[in-house]
A and B are shown apart, each in its own frame.
Chain A
Amino acid sequence: MTRDVLAGRAHALIGRLADGSRDDGARDALLRDALAWQARSVAPYGRLVASRRVDPDAARSPADFPALPTDVFRWARVAAHPPGEDARVFRTSGTTSGARGAHPIRDLSLYDRAARAAARHALFPDVDRMRLVLLAPDERLAPDSSLSYMLSRFATWFAEGEAVWAWTDAGLSVPRLREALEGEAGPIALLGTSFAFVHADEALGDARFRLPEGSRIMQTGGFKGRAREIAPGAMRARLRRRYGVAETRIVAEYGMTELQSQMYETTLRAPAEARRLWVPGWVRAVPVDPDTLAPVPEGEVGILRVDDVANVDSACAIQTSDLARRVGEGIELLGRAPGAVPRGCSLAVEEALGEG
């Protein structure tokens, strides 16, 4: 099995399942082959596999392989290819210690295919193109941000006319945002980070908008200590009041630097159903027990493991620290529980050392 064969299979699978259909057998077969290849080709993943005493050739399903914790991206290069072949290096948001995770990307076409297919299915299922207003820096301002890269592609794939970037090198541009929101040219997709939405909320004062019918809001990302934490429900209520859209038109996106595929809430496609993340057919998302790493039963809370066929050049199995539970074929993301049990004394030291 070669890298190019795996990449070709990943392209084909994403293309085939872009309509929302599922073929878990084909997905798992590809993940198994990719993980076996990565165990031999990606040094830190290979060490993890060896440490867990997994024989890549004997493993029969992706579940037989360990998932690489996201923290490893902060401490080691996770890639099968040399740095000279990097097309991009996406980096995680800075921590207080300055240690940022890095995800070297060799082949952006896989990223593009996965991102486009998921957004088309969950975020733009009803329109080919629409006005885009973006509350995030574009990729020129943030060349190592996977989110900025994705939104820049959205501007090409989904924007009607020129997308409006309301975030400039000076930060939020309130005039640009107001001008875009007050136009009469049809529905708007307002896309941005939670942090940016909070910032905009504070900057807009008493201004209220009523976005045209068919508009939608996509918010993504946590707060990363950059603003006070706001619960998802409270955040949606703020957005509804500020922009005049129904909460069923507000969609959360779940993506991370360490993954090339994204998940979206099902709200736009199934407004009457409880919110959950749609797991694209080429992604396997499983909450696991933090101690045993075995899948937890449906409805029980675990930490989310995500297997993504698009991660051919790094590690297809990623272990996050996010709390989640499985609900049918979807995932309910719980984030970090409020009042989480303190980790004891080491937490204070971690704060002091800035390792958070």
Chain B
Amino acid sequence: MKGEGNEVRSRAARVAATAPALRAMDGERIAGAIGRAAAAIADPTADVGREARALLPDATGLSEAMVGWALTHQVGIATPDSLTRLARSMQPPREGAVPARGRLCVVVLSGNVFTAALRAIALPLLARVPVVAKASTREDVFPRLLARAIAAADAELGSSLDVVTFPGGTAALEDTLFAQADVVAVYGSDSTLSDVRGRLPATTTFVPHGHGMGAIWVPSDALPDETAATALAERVALDVAAFDQRGCLSPHAVWVGAAARFPARELARLVADHGLARLAGELPRGALPTEIGGAQVQWRGVAAARGELFERDGYAVSFEGPGALRLSPGYRNVSVLECLDEQDLFRRLTPLGMHLKALGVAADVEARRSLAARLPAPLAPRVSAVGTMQTPPIDTLADGHSPFAGLLRWTEVG
């Protein structure tokens, strides 16, 4: 343990020692290198892209097709241009303030959506803060490939990044790492956030990114007929199927306005038999872990006993009328529920609090903007079109905050 602690300390120190060189680096150079690395991983013909497609299905439990979709739609979008735009969004809170960059940012990665590591690692680098990413031993494939691809794109930038894992996960080793950092950003469950927060030195900045879920709202006027319902069912299905519904943006419930001319029950059937059925072929679900299977059996059984269950091979949609939300186990199990109107929706969403990370709304952008302004606090930092919930832009806000919030401080010059 002592030897491992020394190694962790020396690796963190080695990365932190690159801080002066990273500070001096041109922002476009950093964005360019990360963008080239992302493009290589997203490219199925590149060596690293092939390796990603070979290793990630086993590491993540996602199907090969789902891994390919994620690489294309979430990694491939990290172009040099989009990353440069992201870096430029880092604005001083007051004119004339200059960045006071830390020596080291430690990022604790979560394992549920593997592509999240891209932004988690890119943000501190774009802020020109060296980063050590701590990955789980089970899902360290993507961060390691990314680190290698960044080093291949720009060796000097690559020296400002390291990926570590602690087999068996010891708090002592984590604490050794945290002791070197000015900023610790954590992606994980409430209990992980609380645990790490309590162990940090008082002067270390803590940047939490908690887990959560998504939901979909279908106002009554969005369902005039079967044609509209069929198109909507396809978009709902994509949001549900992406990452096998394991992401923080994944919808677990679809609430439908009770006055819709097309019945909510029929929308549930279409989501199953049209939307998810098609994706079962194009983007198959990964293997179901036995532990999840236990929860799935319970969730589906209650749905069948209380309402209706459209259950097929590898996915299920429940319809339980205006019943209470029961959180699904994920893995392509989603509820369609009725609610009276927008006020009723808000009443149902309120208990989710900050855990509601995304609300997909079947309405145009003006209507979404209007609804976002009326949402009860503190809900849904992201309100998006249905079908795009899982593909936020690379410069999307982080839990409603600037993506760079907490990653660097500013020095006010008087």
Interface residues, chain A, with chain B CB atoms under 8 Å away:
44-45, 47-48, 51-52, 66-72, 74-76, 289-291, 293, 301-303, 319-323, 336-337, 340-353, 355
Contacts and interface: CB of A to CB of B under 8 A. Distances in A.
Nearest to A52: B304
Contacts of B212: 345, 348-349
A341 B295 contact: no
B302 A72 contact: yes
Of A74, A303, A320, A323, chain B has the most CB atoms within 10 Å of the CB of: A303
B355 interface: yes
Contacts of A344: 112, 211, 245-247, 250, 330
Contact of B247 (A75, A345, A349): A345
B197 to A, nearest CB: 15
A289 B292 CA distance: 11
A348 B192 CA distance: 10
A303 B330 contact: no
Contacts of A289: 293
Q: Which of B288, B294, B306, B308 has the most CB of A within 10 A?
A: B294
Given A68-B305, A341-B289, A344-B247, 20 more contacts: A47-B304, A51-B304, A67-B301, A69-B298, A75-B326, A290-B290, A290-B293, A291-B314, A321-B298, A323-B291, A337-B291, A341-B61, A341-B291, A343-B291, A344-B112, A348-B190, A348-B211, A348-B355, A349-B355, A353-B352
B301 A319 contact: yes
Nearest to A71: B298
A291 B288 contact: yes
A27 to B, nearest CB: 23
A104 B189 CA distance: 37
Interface of B: 61, 111-112, 189-191, 210-213, 245-248, 250, 252, 288-302, 304-306, 308-309, 311, 314, 326-330, 351-353, 355, 357
A349 B190 CA distance: 9
Interface secondary structure of A, over-half rule: mixed
B189 A290 contact: no
Q: Closest 3 CB pairs between A and B?
A: A290-B293, A69-B301, A344-B246
B294 A322 contact: yes
A66 to B, nearest CB: 8
A71 B305 CA distance: 10
B297 A347 contact: no
Nearest to A301: B290
Nearest to A355: B327
B190 A351 contact: yes
Contact of A76 (B61, B305, B328): B305
Contact of A302 (B246, B290, B308): B290
Given A346-B329, A348-B211, A349-B213, A303 B292 contact: no
Nearest to A319: B297
Contacts of B329: 343, 346
B351 A321 contact: no
A353 B351 CA distance: 7
Contacts of B296: 290-291
Nearest to B328: A346
B306 A75 contact: yes
Contacts of B302: 69, 71-72, 74-76
Given A343-B330, A344-B245, A345-B211, A321 B295 contact: yes
B295 to A, nearest CB: 7
28 contacts: A44-B305, A44-B306, A47-B305, A47-B306, A51-B309, A51-B311, A67-B301, A68-B305, A69-B300, A69-B302, A71-B302, A290-B290, A290-B292, A320-B294, A321-B297, A323-B294, A337-B291, A342-B112, A344-B247, A345-B211, A345-B213, A345-B330, A347-B211, A349-B355, A351-B191, A352-B190, A352-B352, A355-B327
A45 B302 CA distance: 10
Contacts of A345: 112, 211-213, 246-248, 250, 330, 357
A76 B304 contact: no
Contacts of A320: 294
Nearest to A42: B305
Contact of B288 (A74, A290, A322, A342): A290
Contacts of A323: 290-291, 294
Given A69-B298, A345-B247, A355-B327, A48 B304 contact: yes
Nearest to B305: A44
A66 B306 CA distance: 15
A69 B288 CA distance: 18
A303 B297 contact: yes
Given A48-B305, A72-B302, A72-B305, A348 B291 contact: no
Contacts of B298: 69-71, 319, 321
B291 A340 contact: yes
A69 B297 contact: yes
